[in-house]
Amino acid sequence: MTTVEEVPYSPIASSRLGEWAARNGPVLGVFAALFVLWEIAVGALHIPNYILPSPLVIADKIVVSWQLLLLNAFVTLQEILFGFALSVIIAIPLAIAVVYSRIFERVAFPFMVSLQTIPKVALAPILVIWLGYGIMPKVMVAFLISFFPIVINSVIGMRSAEREMIYLVQSMGASELTTFLKIRLPKALPSIFGGLKVGIGQAVVGATVGEFIAAENGLGYLQLISQVRLDTPLLFAAVVVLSLLGVLLFNTVAWIERLALPWSRLATEVAE
């Protein structure tokens, strides 16, 4: 058997560390330069700490108040995770219903899409009235705001299987359940993970905004208190921790995606 023309693409292979440095080096460099510039400018222009603390002052604040920050971060993390989990648990079955049921497709889905235009954070004060000062209103805001990207991406993903692909397995005598499990769901996974990655970021926003409205602890609450006390370094410290939380959560989802879909990364790498 001769193959005339084909040379297989070989997957990109190189040292992981080198690749990481090459990819992230420029970005890290820009950040480092920015911080140095910031540090020098604050010193040279005698900007007071309550207006703009220097990076070193913020770092010092984080070290000194790490317990306070950690305690509040834990509260916010809980709200984010509960809200996000609720989103996933409701959004994915709902997406399946939209793909398989005409009623859901014709009525529920357009209804949801139009609901999406409501700014979810604007609902936060109402949720406080309904659900009180505890963790629930923040969980609900995090849920509401992270829900839509997940459901919409899941629906798009489950609809993305080509018609021929469905015909193919039907010609093999596959049941609807088999078609879903072997074709539609795996085909949808990259898109679903896209939605999850947007959703987890949104959940962080939702939980924080929820805490702005009414809370007794959490990083958003800590920011409010710092603002009232003009403790700007602590305010910045909370921002840093919040960002780290967001990055950590996003990368966790991305990491699970890479583990679950090794073929997906391969497809994009070769496409590049």
Q: Which residues bind other proteins (CB under 8 A)?
A: 1-11, 162, 164-165, 167-174, 178, 182-183, 186-187, 189, 261, 263-264, 266-267, 270-271
* Cα 213 to Cα 124: distance, rounded to the nearest angstrom: 7
Which lies closer to other proteins via its Cβ, residue 49 or residue 170? 170
What's the min distance (Å) between Cβ of 100 and other proteins? 19
Amino acid residing at 264: S
What's the min distance (Å) between Cβ of 10 and other proteins? 8
For residue 225 the two structure tokens come to: 């208190």
* Cα 55 to Cα 32: distance, rounded to the nearest angstrom: 11
Which lies closer to other proteins via its Cβ, residue 116 or residue 264? 264
CA 58 to chain centre: 26
* Cα 53 to Cα 147: distance, rounded to the nearest angstrom: 36
Which lies closer to other proteins via its Cβ, residue 119 or residue 173? 173
User: Between 136-158 and 185-213, two packed helices, what is the crossing angle to 10 degrees?
Assistant: 160
Which lies closer to other proteins via its Cβ, residue 182 or residue 250? 182
* CA-to-CA separations, 62 to 55, 108, 210, 239, 242, in angstroms, rounded: 11, 46, 23, 11, 12
What's the min distance (Å) between Cβ of 117 and other proteins? 29
What's the min distance (Å) between Cβ of 266 and other proteins? 5
Which lies closer to other proteins via its Cβ, residue 229 or residue 258? 258
Q: Residues near 227 by Cβ (< 8 Å), separated by ≥ 6? A: 235
Question: Angle at the Cα of 254 (from 249 to 258), degrees rounded to 5?
Answer: 150
Phi, psi angle pair for 197, to nearest 5°: -70, -40
Which lies closer to other proteins via its Cβ, residue 4 or residue 129? 4
DSSP states of 165-203: HHHHHHHTT--HHHHIIIIIHHHHHHHHHHHHHHHHHHH
What's the min distance (Å) between Cβ of 254 and other proteins? 18
Phi, psi angle pair for 163, to nearest 5°: -60, -40
Which lies closer to other proteins via its Cβ, residue 46 or residue 163? 163
What's the min distance (Å) between Cβ of 12 and other proteins? 11
What's the min distance (Å) between Cβ of 251 and other proteins? 22
